[in-house]
Structure 1
Amino acid sequence: MTYTATQRRTRRGYAVLAVCGVLLAGCSGSSDGGHRTGPSASSASVTSPAGQRGTGVPTVRFTVDPARVPTTPFAALDLVRAVTAGPDSYGPGYIKRPPYESDPAAWPVLGTDCVWRQEPLPGDVLATFTRYSRLPAADSKGEVRTAATVTLHRTAAQADQEMAETLEEALRCPDQQLRATERISGLNSMGSGYGTNGNTSADDYLIEMGTYDDPALGKGATYYIWNQVRLGPVTIAVVLEGGKGFGQGDLLTVQARAVAGMETKVRSELGAQK
């Protein structure tokens, strides 16, 4: 049976609810390892409507202006490039991580063996684009890796289906292989539609948490946090991996800042004029 994102959003959320209070702009409203941010990276506060999340003050729900939505892959790629976050979206000290930008013709797919692979772009996607960044290790703290992805689907219904499929991935594969030496484990996910769990910004909101392990970053697992939102036919995803010495709340705050910034850009590019 196939479920929509709305039908699936509470099936795995219990473990994440406890951390939503520290997410600030995020839970109240996704790594370069997997989901739609892809396993193609190396080792292969913003003032905006999103900033209102969690305050109990509803924001104006996003309304797409159909005339402003690209209809060709070329124009769609220009849009997602303009929106996708780079190092300056996360905070001081973040830099580009090679390869800095993804292959826009590739699409990550989680196989039945819970291993991520690259496949050609599906027909329902006009364009998708990822930028990879990192906060280098310094003092006693380890490296933090980030990836931000923006995808423009042909329809809002197709974007909603991506959200639904992403929620289901954590259910069927709580442990996933990103690349040869990189794994995420113990995944839990939660979704919130507009107007639920403090989400007064996006049409739909997902958060996924677990642990990330890469021997190249040192011994032991670190936090893995992935967040994705949908605004009409657009999905926005940000993932943070590691690093040692960073608390979960620290990473959630950084992630929320990047997501909010991209939401603001999407609203500016595609929103109906009021």
Structure 2
Amino acid sequence: MGGLVGQSRGKAGLRAWGCAMAGLFLVAGCADDGTPKGAASSGPPGTSATPSGTPPSAGGSGTGGTGASTPTARPGAATAIPMPPLDESKQPRTAAEARDLLGRVIIAEQDLGPQVVRSTPFESDPGRWPVLDEACVWQTEGLPDDVLATSTRHFHIPAKDGRGRVRISATVTIHHNREESGWETARAMEEVLRCPDQKLREGEELKSLWGGALYLGEQLNAWTEDAFSESGDYVNAQDGGPYPYTWSQAQFGPVTMAISAKAGQGVTNEDLTVFVAQGTSVMMIQAKQQLGKAAG
């Protein structure tokens, strides 16, 4: 399932996308054409090779700028753990079991950093499911047969010091099995192909979306069974735009975990990547701890 979907960006764009999507922290970064340089360790896009608990370097850990006004994830960003075998005996069989698992996987605001606060409303209706209609407008419907439980939590970083509001959401969905969660990722790819411009709600739109997917083992992806990300522009009738937008989804067994981030004025895509990587890392670690086979 690897490769680009959406607009073709040429060979250099493909290499750059692979570098970001491979789930790597590149100690020396990427070359100008996007190819890795230097040593690399496995982890979701943008995660730090600094051991958990080590403070970030002076000037803040936000990658898009310097100083206190730059958004920063919490110190000691999560690092990925090896891919354990799935323990199928731990998979939820009922909606109640799935909701219990979901609550142990999804993140809270403190997992993203001290600047991040809850939005209102905070959690989505657990009985509803987002669907992209034929006109490329997002609607909600009842849960489909292949979903046991799903929840989305909404957070934000308030506007401050000339930087606009950053909107972040975290979604966890529990399916019956790995095959169903894989199909969810495939549908996400199809949606970008079908609708590069999407209407979220009245006054909010995504523009010029493009995305890519990597299966386990592709481009050094060793942290998730399926990795899918999309990027584009976010336009808000109140705040203006276009501003950067990014979304990333990972999969372990019957569970999919996704983080989306929408920038405001003065916030870069690199700033967003810090929070997307942090949130995805934490949820993947928690899913592996809940559903993976114990070592030995």
Residues 145 and 28 of structure 1, relative CA distance in 2, 3 Å threshold: closer
1:223 equivalenced with 2:248 (yes/no): no
1:97 equivalenced with 2:119 (yes/no): yes
1:155 equivalenced with 2:177 (yes/no): yes
Size of the aligned set, in residue pairs, is: 243
SS in 2 for 1:197: helix
SS in 1 for 2:126: coil
Residues 48 and 219 of structure 1, relative CA distance in 2, 3 Å threshold: closer
TM-score by length of 2: 0.77
User: Residues 194-213 of structure 1, C-alpha deviation per residue, up to 9 Å, x if partnerless?
Assistant: 11123110001001000001
User: Residues 177-226 of structure 1, C-alpha deviation per residue, up to 9 Å, x if partnerless?
Assistant: 0001100000001000111123110001001000001122x222111100
Q: 2:94 aligns with which of 45, 48, 72?
A: 72
Q: What aligned pairs does 1:112-261 form with structure 2 within 5 A after superposition? A: 112-216=134-238, 218-261=239-282
Matches of 1:142 and 1:226, distance apart in 2? 19
Cross-structure match for 1:86? 108
User: CA contact under 8 A between 2:18 and 2:219: conserved in structure 1?
Assistant: no
Which structure exhibits the higher relative contact order, with contacts defined as CA atoms closer than 8 Å and separated by 6 or more residues? 1
Cross-structure match for 1:273? 294
Runs of 4+ in 1 over 6 A off after TM superposition: none
Amino acid at match of 1:243: G
Cross-structure match for 1:42? none
* Runs of 5+ consecutive residues of structure 1 not aligned to the other structure: 1-5, 30-44, 51-59
Residues 157 and 88 of structure 1, relative CA distance in 2, 3 Å threshold: same
Query: 1:19: how far off?
Result: 5.3
Amino acid at match of 2:235: D
Q: 2:80 aligns with which of 49, 68, 71?
A: 49
Q: Which has the higher helix share?
A: 1
User: CA contact under 8 A between 1:26 and 1:252: conserved in structure 2?
Assistant: no
Matches of 2:18 and 2:114, distance apart in 1? 24
TM-score by length of 1: 0.83
Matches of 1:159 and 1:263, distance apart in 2? 14
SS in 2 for 1:221: strand
SS in 1 for 2:118: strand
User: CA contact under 8 A between 2:216 and 2:222: conserved in structure 1?
Assistant: yes
Amino acid at match of 1:235: T
Cross-structure match for 2:44? 26
SS in 1 for 2:210: strand
1:110 equivalenced with 2:128 (yes/no): no
Query: 1:26: how far off?
Result: 3.0
Query: 1:79: how far off?
Result: 1.0
SS in 2 for 1:169: helix
Larger Rg: 2
User: CA contact under 8 A between 1:142 and 1:242: conserved in structure 2?
Assistant: yes
* Runs of 5+ consecutive residues of structure 2 not aligned to the other structure: 26-42, 48-75
Query: 1:149: how far off?
Result: 0.5
Matches of 2:3 and 2:293, distance apart in 1? 28
Query: 1:9: how far off?
Result: 4.6
- Of residues 162-171 and 86-95 in structure 1, the stretch that sits farther from structure 2 once superposed is 86-95
User: Residues 17-37 of structure 1, C-alpha deviation per residue, up to 9 Å, x if partnerless?
Assistant: 4356467443489xxxxxxxx
Cross-structure match for 1:3? none
